[in-house]
């Protein structure tokens, strides 16, 4: 992998960032009510819009919806902060931290990430953590007259007629490995509104082995994952995209 070079953008197109860890195996039983209460006590600033999610609900909550779990079934809780720009999730087998715009910088989020991981490990007391993931969902609106190949390095150039009319598309590629994990990149041509087409570029880092149930070890993994993820993102976009991001 190429060396990590940090770039700064005044107008990032990040629709959501997700930081999560998972248990070694699927949980067999619900948490007791007092476990949820103890977790909530660690995050008093996240008391807005509580949701109960089934354990198999997507961790990413951008444009996501699902039916609530049946009565008596294991579930995880999602709670948002006062303005809905941040969320925490916890329950059997998983904890996560979701960041919605405005994003800021990765370092802005590590204190909350540490709190989420620390509280979860204290509650579950696992010997190891089965996996970790970090993902960034970027959204870019292009007019029909603009070519996505001018913005995304690996998007195939298309003829004018096909460019104006071609159907939805999804391109996926594994882009990099790093100590303890790997990175994948997915580009989707999404919904259309009038003359605008939404392109969604998702870059995800995932662990390739179990991690020690240790806050410092998990945060170090997330730091490495972020560097690898950022490098893959930069390799996937063009200078034309960087102009839209307003590189500073």
Does residue 7 fall inside a structural domain? Answer: no
**DSSP codes joined into one string, 158-193:** --HHHHHH----EEEEEEEEETTEEEEEEEEEEEEE
Does residue 220 fall inside a structural domain? Answer: yes
C-alpha span between 154 and 172 (Å, rounded): 10
C-alpha span between 95 and 89 (Å, rounded): 5
- Inter-residue contact 100 to 85 (CB < 8 Å): yes
Domain hosting residue 207, numbered range: 14-245
Does residue 5 fall inside a structural domain? Answer: no
Does residue 142 fall inside a structural domain? Answer: yes
pLDDT in tens, 185-198: 999 987 888 889 89
C-alpha span between 22 and 244 (Å, rounded): 35
pLDDT at 159: 73
pLDDT at 166: 61
Q: Which residues of the chain are modeled with pLDDT < 50?
A: none
Note if the bond before 102 is cis, omega within 30 degrees: yes
pLDDT at 26: 60
pLDDT at 126: 84
**DSSP codes joined into one string, 14-37:** EEEEEEEEE-SS---SPPPHHHHH
pLDDT at 74: 87
- State the total domains in the chain: 1
pLDDT at 165: 65
- Inter-residue contact 101 to 15 (CB < 8 Å): yes
pLDDT at 127: 82
Does residue 123 fall inside a structural domain? Answer: yes
């Amino acid at each position: 992998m190429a060396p990590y070079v940090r770039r700064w953008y005044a107008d990032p197109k990040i629709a959501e960032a997700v930081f999560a860890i998972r248990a070694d195996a699927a949980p067999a039983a619900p948490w007791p009510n007092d476990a949820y209460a103890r977790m909530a006590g660690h995050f008093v600033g996240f008391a807005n819009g509580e949701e109960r999610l089934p354990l198999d609900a997507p961790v990413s909550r951008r444009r996501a919806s699902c039916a609530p779990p049946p009565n008596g079934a294991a579930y995880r809780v999602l709670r948002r902060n006062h303005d809905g720009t941040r969320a925490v999730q916890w329950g059997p087998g998983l904890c996560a931290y979701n960041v919605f715009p405005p994003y800021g910088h990765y370092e802005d989020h590590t204190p909350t990430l540490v709190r989420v991981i620390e509280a979860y490990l204290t509650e579950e007391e696992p010997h190891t953590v089965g996996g970790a993931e970090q993902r960034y969902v970027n959204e870019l609106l292009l007019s029909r007259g603009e070519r996505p190949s001018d913005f995304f390095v690996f998007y195939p150039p298309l003829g004018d007629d096909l460019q104006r009319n071609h159907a939805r598309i999804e391109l996926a590629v594994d882009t990099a490995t790093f100590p303890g994990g790997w990175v994948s990149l997915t580009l989707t041509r999404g919904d259309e509104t009038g003359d605008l087409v939404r392109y969604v570029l998702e870059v995800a880092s995932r662990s390739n082995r179990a991690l020690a149930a240790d806050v410092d070890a998990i945060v170090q993994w997330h730091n490495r994952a972020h560097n690898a993820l950022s490098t893959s993102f930069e390799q996937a976009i063009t200078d034309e995209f960087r102009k839209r991001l307003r590189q500073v």
